[in-house]
Structure 1
């Protein structure tokens, strides 16, 4: 089994990258009528770009794809259609990462089907194996990215896996720290996860 690599950017690091992303978009000369954040990873990035690009019209589109850390569903499905009227509009579609790229392909097609005049895509990260290269992005990485807005679900998923592998709570805590998660985040969220998983907590 291939050992997963992880990267856990902080809120400040993410914000800096989104500023860089907004500068790229501004320098391109592209103009947009609205922004659509692809749920759930694109919501926060879309909100930040709404501010940085001064675009007030913002909507959401949900596509379900991932099942668990390190695994993927077979195909993306639109579970919540775009929440704003995009007919005749130039749309900036936003997500956090283009991983396989299948969800972005689905999102672009959905927005076109809903009448968008044009769709441009922006993400923070791109995986080297993606089938969809966004029009704007900041960084290519082959690591599993632990975004700060998904700390609970990541800790819960990894903890469940590592418990099945026979690790103790202290070993799980050490692993979470070793992959770059902040100590204060791990120390506050791991006990909550253990309660939800009905696992005893042995502290340090």
Structure 2
């Protein structure tokens, strides 16, 4: 599978672009960062938008490039209810959309008044087209936080 490598500068520009759109069209009360890939964008958006409340959900789906479980599983749930809240669900990419489907259902179950999905990117085949995204690609995306694995000496 072809890959596209993104730099920290590109990610930062993309996050600021998303923040500008959110300010104009949907200021959330709560940001839900989808672990792991959505955490850095979620934290940055929270800071840029004025320290908006940030919560985390951990969903496991992908095992390796192009390999995933049959169904995403929530491993760390969202804490507390979201009754009456405007919620932005933030992830790095909407690929199959299955992870986001699970998170959207959970956020609805917790009583959110309004939900928007915010991603840096999306794949053309996704079942969940984000309400806000920066680019679309059919390539495997390598984000800067994934690029350099640490090596340890024993």
Bin of the TM-score, shorter chain as denominator length: over 0.9
Stretches (4+) displaced over 2 A:
none
Indicate the residue corresponding to 1:8 in structure 2: 5
Instruction: Work out which of the residue numbers 106, 110, 113 in structure 2 matches 1:114.
Output: 110
With the length of structure 1 as denominator, give the TM-score of the two structures: 0.71
Q: Secondary structure at the match of 2:69?
A: strand
Structure 2 spans left out of the alignment, 5+ residues: none
**1:62 and 2:54 correspond:** no
Which one has more relative contact order, counting CA pairs under 8 Å at least 6 apart?
A: 2
Q: 1:136 aligns with which of 132, 138, 154?
A: 132
CA distance in 2, matches of 1:22, 1:84: 25
TM-score by length of 2: 0.92
- Give 3-state SS (helix, strand or coil) of 1:149's partner: coil
2:18 to 21, 29, 37: 21
CA distance in structure 1 between the aligned counterparts of 2:124 and 2:147, rounded to whole angstroms? 24
| Alignment match, 1:43 | 39
Residues 91-136 of structure 1 deviation map (CA, whole Å, 9 limit, x = unaligned): 1110000000010011000011112122111000000110110100
- Bigger fraction of residues in strand: 2
Q: Distance in 1 between matches of 2:121 and 2:51?
A: 22
The residue that corresponds to 2:27 in the other structure is 31
The answer as to whether partners of 1:41 and 1:96 remain within 8 angstroms in 2 is: yes
Preserved CA contact (<8 Å) 2:5 2:141: yes
- Counting helix residues as a fraction of each chain, which structure ranks higher? 1
Cα deviation, 1:45-74, whole Å, max 9, x if unaligned, reads 001100121243111011110011222221
Task: Mark the runs of 5 or more structure 1 residues left unpaired by the alignment.
Answer: 154-188, 197-204
